[in-house]
Amino acid sequence: MTCVADTARTPRAEQTRAVITAAALALFRERGYEAATMRAIAQHAGVSTGNAYYYFSSKEELIQEFYSRNHAAHLAATRGVLAAETDLAARLHGTVRALVDVLMPYHSFAATFYKHAAEPASPLSPFSPQSSPARLASIALYRDVVEGSSARMGPGVRERLPELLWLYSLGITLFWVHDNSDGCAKTYQLIDATAPVIAQLVAASRLPALRRTLRDLIGIADQLSL
């Protein structure tokens, strides 16, 4: 938890948090995650080191703030497609492309950052307890993708599909991290190719011949859930 109390979330406090977060992200891009110290972040933000620690007890908390702000931006970027589309493939396609759009400004330091996020014990991991609010919020967005669609699907799929789509988005993000194509064109091409296939598999889940395979896949997902 951050050092500042919830009751201190005044507009001025929110502005200070935003300035510190922006300074941290700028230094992460410029120097890398490890080299950017809290003292340097405070100097870049124009606040005292003590003030920076008042709002964020560590760089890890700053990353959790980044996750939160990034999700808010992603949510805003999906409003148009989710309001206009009921087709599952279109809703998923638009949502995941919007995620990459929102992440794009951070591509230059993504590989360094995600090296830490990929460590199982890291608080930066999307599966960590510290990342639980961001993870649950993201899964809730994919639940909206599913519930607002006209897709029909097999028994048990609707309940588990949001989490599976979130895992799919993590896979897309990992591909994006290592995508050196111009404008990350290959990542967008991957989304264009896979979103319709996922929608087709969801529709096919109603077929009796695929139900056992579906149960097996859900069972695997249950075993992997943290």
- Residue 224, pLDDT score: 58
Low-confidence ranges of the chain (pLDDT < 70): 1-8, 211, 215, 218, 221-226
User: Which pLDDT value is given to residue 2?
Assistant: 44
112 and 70, same domain (yes or no): yes
Domain count, the chain: 2
Angle, alpha carbons 18-20-25 (nearest 5°):
95
Q: Which residues of 125-155 are buried (b: 16+ CB within 10 A; e: fewer)?
A: bbebebbeebbeebbebbbebbeebebebbe
57, 79, 98 - which closes a domain: 57
pLDDT in tens, 149-173: 999 988 778 888 999 999 999 999 9
Based on the domain organization, do 31 and 70 belong to the same domain? no
pLDDT value of position 225:
58
Question: Within this chain, do residues 20 and 70 fall inside the same structural domain, yes or no?
Answer: no
At position 215, the amino acid (one-letter code) is R
Domain carrying residue 95: 59-224
What pTM value is reported for the model? 0.85
Residues 11, 118 share a domain: no
Q: Write the pLDDT tens digit of every residue in 31-48.
A: 878 888 999 999 999 999
CATH code assigned at 29: 1.10.10
CATH number assigned to the domain comprising residue 188: 1.10.357.10
